[in-house]
Structure 1
Amino acid sequence: MSEDWRHGGFGLYLHWPFCAAKCPYCDFNSHVSATVDQARWQRAYLAEIDRIGAETSDRILNTVFFGGGTPSLMDPELVQAILDRVRRTWRLSNDLEITLEANPTSIEAGRFRGYAEAGVNRISMGMQALNDADLRRLGRMHSVAEGRRAFDIARNQFDRVSFDLIYARQDQDLSAWEAELREAAAMAVDHFSLYQLTIEEGTAFGARAAAGKLRGLPDDDLSADMYLKTQDICDSLGLSAYEVSNHARAGAECRHNLVYWRYGDYAGIGPGAHGRLTLNGTRMATDTPKAPALWLQMAERGNAELPREALPLEEQAVEFLLFGLRLSEGIDPDRYCALRGQPLPSGKIADLQELGLITQSNGRLAATREGRAVLNGVIRELMP
């Protein structure tokens, strides 16, 4: 199993932890800072690339993803320096995908030209809503008009532009979401990430909900109807769900995220960045401290990782199941068996098939559309 990761490929994730403001629903590792010494951060990123590259330099790199935080707050010169070092460190696939996440408030033409010249070829934009009142509720700093202008700037500079929308928002009904989704699709987007609003502990929304002050959220039935309506609309527009929350035209899927979902290897660099690296025949889980100052200090001392953890094959099999069944293509049961040392439970598979929640064809097992709507339950049934 030492080469299992090759089924998914190899990617690099770089986390930029800074934002202009903290959104009330966000539980990502993001921080607001008045000043950022980007030259100092550049030295730290390059040192970490060198360190991990020394262990993996024989690999072909398939994808690079700048996530955050708000990576579009990075100076283009910083992105250029990172990608120059990446090119010197790994062999690159012929169709290398380099994605950078952006918020509409930090998009301007000159900055985006700099990213494109550095090698970025895909933008993922945090639009979140096409309704000014809801944007304000979500703590977003841009208006719908600003979001549309930002999208036009990105579209003029990059062939591949995705954007995120959040639904099941406060006081949102099914017809309003349908109208908004159709409006978004009319903007010639080839990839959507469409997420139901979830209330997470440790966020401002979480605190408001606990105090009974977050009103107007849809009930479970309406949320389920919104999910199913999303599938219907996107299917009709040729933007099929290749993953539970991600829709794309054929060929426009996010290849970096496919590395995760197909259970490949990926290096994680930056505060709070996770990774999976197969080294000397053992798949290791890597992690980093979330606090930006601590990560920076550790990188400057030569290693910004926390102690690595070897993943038992049983745990790898569970992760493979959790990630792979999110995809419409599903999983190869033989690969699960090789990781786990035993096959998936045939009785459970038969029960789930009878309920119309999973399907088997061409040597693959996949959740149906109805199964993906209750995917956590499906996975619980299949887990040992």
Structure 2
Amino acid sequence: MMRQNADAPVIIIGAGLAGLRAAEGARRAGYTGALVMIGDEEHPPYDRPPLSKDFITAPAPPDVLLRDPDELRNELNIELRLGQAAEQLDVPGKRVRVGQAWLDYSSIILATGYRSRTFSTNREEQNLYPVRTVTDGMRLRERLASGARHVAILGAGFIGSELASSTRSRGISVTLISTVRKPLSGALGDQVADALVQLHRSNGVDVRLGCSIAEVSESSILLSDGSMVPADVVAYGIGGEPATEWLAGSGIELDGFGVVCDEFLRAAPGVYAAGDIASWPSKLFDQQLRSPHWTAASEQGVNAGHNAVSDAKEPFDTVPYYWSDLYGKRLQFVGVATGDKMMVVRDELPDGGFLALARSGDRISAACGINMRRQIGVARRHIRQQSSWSVAMEDLGVDQNPAVLSRV
């Protein structure tokens, strides 16, 4: 006998960080009913940031599980359905199709995240190593441990940069390839982008800008500029695509990047979203915003889980924050700098650190720094409080009208 919707479970589609936090948020809000988590991977929720860092290079891979499966079942009382994918959503009927079965839900939380953008060459795909899942990370780890000497990495964003840093820590030759001439400049500005390229080169990485991989052979690659580079491993981190194609025709608004939500992370009656695929109307930044990073996924998951089970909805907003570990240094970014030029306001020569800020009107809108942990925390607080530029500058201890420095 099919259960009626009133007695149906809360269903979470996606067994990652956002999905786990959604389950925790629902339980924290007092929900005691059935909770089902559906994930297309065979693994329970795990942490992704280590996969491009020490997971691939440490003597033993660190444990990346976020919670033990027994804890999920016994403490959070979650019914785990792993290795299964949602295929269709019926919003009016409050049901979701998984395989051939339709499951009723009282509320549903969409947290499917992104999948790796694919990269094809003239050779067999087993020579290529994407890095997004724990299976990807283990496969690359095993290949590096088997005696790889030259690694080519396509993509100089955060994932590719972390791969380069991790691989160099093992003394392996690395070529980092970017199809654009200033990688990450759209997010961090030209000066910061230039500084990161210099950081790679100062650590022995051969950085090739404005080109792509044309051909792959067993021990080398041919670049689009005609140069040949030694490579017995080709890894890539070239971004991702939202895992939302199964929502086509459901009535859920999709914008090409994911699911469009309201201020409560609600995409439709009884439907919420969290993590990489979710966008929301940010009052802090006066725009529809998405933040496909660890911190936002965690915060959104808790909020979506609460709102999915509670009549007292809580609006969501945050100051985006993300970080990266490169060559023993901590890169951090807070805020939104779209259209705002990043200005370097502190340049710490001894340790290679710097602090760059973006200004929007009379307010600080973003900050980026290497080895500036305290200052980034201060900047995030002032962005959240919408402090004036002068107040933020005084608290940060920097010139209120900084000149853009020639070196970062």
Q: Fold match, TM over 0.5?
A: no
TM-score (normalised: structure 2): 0.29
Give 1 or 2 for the bigger CA radius of gyration.
2
Counting helix residues as a fraction of each chain, which structure ranks higher?
1
